[in-house]
Amino acid sequence: MGNNLKDIRKQISSVLNTQKTTRAMKLVSTSKLKKADEMARRSKVYANKIVSVLGEIKAMASKTDSIQDNPYFANSGSETSAFVDILMVTADKGLCGGFNINTIKEVNRLIAEHKTKNLKVRLRVIGKKAIEYFKFNEIEILDSVVGLSASPDYQKASEFINKAVEDYLNGVTSKIILVHNGFKNMISQEMKVTQILPIQDISELEMDSTLEVEPNEQENEILNQLANKYVEFSMYYALVDSLAAEHSARMQAMDAATNNAGELAKSLTVAYNKARQEAITTELVEINTGVESMK
């Protein structure tokens, strides 16, 4: 009985130490989430402005039909390449619930979907967890980066996506798709699948436009520059958005782990007290039995 009590005490101590660790990790993730969320908010303002200006320039170019031959906006119906580039973002670390695996599942779904259309998918991966998964399953990765999802950098993000853009503009691929698990709010994330090229979902010119640009022979060049900036910033924003979602998911996972550790500690404490009472009762019975035998 004594050994049993000792084992339970060790278990309780171990669980309480684990609870301290998960509580500390939750606090760290909460702090990092606030910073990442603020970064995402600032980035979104800039991204919305790029989309607004790009939409206006596109509308102006449409008046002269120059948009029809622009590779950034080419109709997907004119696809000639059998290859599609899928860019994905996951975390470098785990302990964040289903954050990474949900992104991987979505990419696997897209691969299967394009396979039915006789299109071959090329993977460009950011994040250690996804890289490890695809390597373990012997799925070819065309390009990979570790460390960028944990510390988003605009220059590195641009270099990463511009490799895919170059292949698209040269006709090697017919489409570029970006997949990441994005930040929705403090307690939830949402899967985001965006077709980067050809660009589709850009708002048209609004009635209250304040952009003072008149159509001219350089409009296509301006459009290309803005389109490239839009593509680069889309990649960067996905990294920032994914980082905020990662910290949100990890905060939730650590909160759940902390609560579970607390419940387990309570359960073990009850078991310890019960075993201790049984030991005391057994000792009292043995003492009474000894006294009775001496009479």
Bridge partners (DSSP) listed for residue 177: 86, 195
Q: What is the pLDDT along the chain (295 residues), one digit of tens a residue?
A: 556 888 888 999 999 999 999 999 989 998 988 888 888 888 888 877 777 777 776 666 666 665 667 788 865 444 567 899 999 999 999 999 899 999 999 999 999 999 999 999 999 999 999 999 999 999 999 999 999 999 999 999 999 999 999 999 998 999 999 999 999 888 889 999 999 998 876 544 333 444 455 555 566 777 788 889 999 999 999 999 999 999 999 999 999 999 999 999 999 999 888 888 887 887 777 777 776 677 6
pLDDT for residue 46: 80
Spatial CB neighbours of 241, under 8 Å, sequence gap ≥ 6: 40, 43, 180, 182, 183, 192
pLDDT for residue 78: 46
Q: Distance between CA 121 and CA 181 in Å, rounded? A: 20
Q: Could you tell me if 157 and 239 are in contact, meaning their C-beta atoms sit under 8 angstroms apart?
A: yes
pLDDT for residue 62: 64
Q: Distance between CA 202 and CA 60 in Å, rounded? A: 13
Closest CA relative to residue 160, chosen from 176, 175, 139, 174: 176
- 241's tokens: 């958005």
- Residue the block writes with tokens 């669980």: 15
- 185's tokens: 């709010």
Q: Could you tell me if 74 and 147 are in contact, meaning their C-beta atoms sit under 8 angstroms apart?
A: no
3-state secondary structure of 90: coil
pLDDT for residue 189: 92
pLDDT for residue 278: 80
